[in-house]
């Protein structure tokens, strides 16, 4: 039997990321996501619920995430679910699901950049090329629209 454990979430950080290190020196970043769901109830009234998810990433990803993200910013995370269990200080057994992040994409401006400043547009894949003596490669301008009758010439 085949198994598949993959989750993709888009949400806002509920707190600033927390960077720590394992005894081996591996960086670990923990953060919380709030994912909102809005819908209309049976009577047409607006309804909303929020799901809070704890997330964790490791290594270079952890350092990058901690450096660029802060509370309230929006992010897309992709990873796997894991069920953690432990015994609390009060002796009670505790458990929760957590997302182990394998990839992420920032959807808000990085920390430190003014929110009013729009992010720089990404260059299309065709524009990326090796920079040689003539400079970076560029794509040709888009073709001109085909010549046709003027709007006044159309009978309808």
CATH of residue 35: 2.40.50.140
Q: Are 17 and 68 in contact (CB under 8 A)?
A: no
Give percent of the chain above pLDDT 70: 70
pLDDT exceeds cutoff 80 at 118: no
User: Which carries the bigger pLDDT value, residue 21 or residue 148?
Assistant: 21
Q: How far is CA 66 from the centre of its chain?
A: 13
Residue 155 maps to a domain = no
Q: How many domains, in total, are found in the chain? A: 1
Does a structural domain hold residue 42? Answer: yes
- Of the listed ranges 37-51, 54-68, 121-135, the least confidently predicted one is 121-135
* Structural domain for 45, as ranges: 1-111
C-alpha to C-alpha distance for 127 and 138, rounded to whole angstroms: 5
Residue 132 has pLDDT above 60, yes or no: no
- Region 94-120: mean pLDDT is 76
Instruction: Say whether pLDDT at 142 is over 70.
Output: no
CB 107 within 8 A of CB 63: no
Contacts of 127 (CB under 8 A, 6+ apart): 136, 137, 138, 139
Mean pLDDT of 40-48: 91
Q: Model confidence over 51-96: pLDDT tens digits?
A: 999 999 999 999 999 999 999 999 999 999 999 999 999 999 999 9
Comparing C-alpha atoms, which of 17, 4, 42 is closest to residue 104?
A: 17
In a domain, 24, yes or no: yes
Phi, psi of 25 (to 5 degrees): 95, 0
Q: Is residue 3 part of a domain?
A: yes
**pTM of the shown model:** 0.67
């Amino acid at each position: 039997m085949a198994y598949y454990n993959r989750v993709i979430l888009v949400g806002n950080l509920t707190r600033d990321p927390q960077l720590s290190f394992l005894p081996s020196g591996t960086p670990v970043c923990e953060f919380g996501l709030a994912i909102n769901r809005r819908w209309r109830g049976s009577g047409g009234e607006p309804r909303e619920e929020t799901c809070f998810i704890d997330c964790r990433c490791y290594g270079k990803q952890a350092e990058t995430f901690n450096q660029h993200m802060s509370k309230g910013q929006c992010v897309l995370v992709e990873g796997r679910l894991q069920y953690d269990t432990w015994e609390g200080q009060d002796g009670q057994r505790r458990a929760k699901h957590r997302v182990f992040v394998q990839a992420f994409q920032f959807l808000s401006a990085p920390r430190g950049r003014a929110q009013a400043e729009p992010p720089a547009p990404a260059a299309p894949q065709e524009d990326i090329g090796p920079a040689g003596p003539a400079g970076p490669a560029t794509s040709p301008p888009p073709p001109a629209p085909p010549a046709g009758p003027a709007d006044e010439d159309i009978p309808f």
